[in-house]
Amino acid sequence: MTASVRLLTIVDYMTGTGRGGPPDTSALVRAAEWLGRTLGDWRRRRAGSRDDKFIRVWKRAWTAGCESRWNGLTRQEVPHKQGPEHDTWLAGWLWADTQPDRRDPNRAQSFAHPRRRAIDHTE
């Protein structure tokens, strides 16, 4: 028997495509597969939950920085002394420093650029 035929026989056996059909799996193998799936799912849910919490904290601090700038607070009045919330609050404050306050419903509507096409205008 050549090496390539031997390799195909082993691959067929492992994938269940050989003459003998799929190999019987023992209770131990099935239990190990179940445990692996269960632990993998748990780790993915845990990591996703941690990431979602970080995003919520980041969004809250960034929004607070924007609103603080639009309400007239100075850059030195950061409520967080250090860490990611401090940096995120400052990022929101700096962004709002270059942007108009869009919360005001009486604010005039603006367009992306003054030389827009006539068909871009909607009434």
Query: pLDDT by residue (tens digit) across 96-122?
Result: 988 887 777 776 666 666 666 666 555
Domain parsing of the chain, residue ranges: 51-101
Closest CA to 73 of 82, 83, 64: 64
Q: Are 65 and 88 in contact (CB under 8 A)?
A: yes
pLDDT in tens, the chain (123 residues): 555 555 555 555 555 555 555 556 788 888 888 889 999 999 998 988 889 998 999 999 999 999 999 888 888 888 878 888 899 999 999 999 888 877 777 766 666 666 666 665 555
Burial class, 120, CB count within 10 angstroms (exposed 0-12 / middle 13-18 / buried 19+): exposed
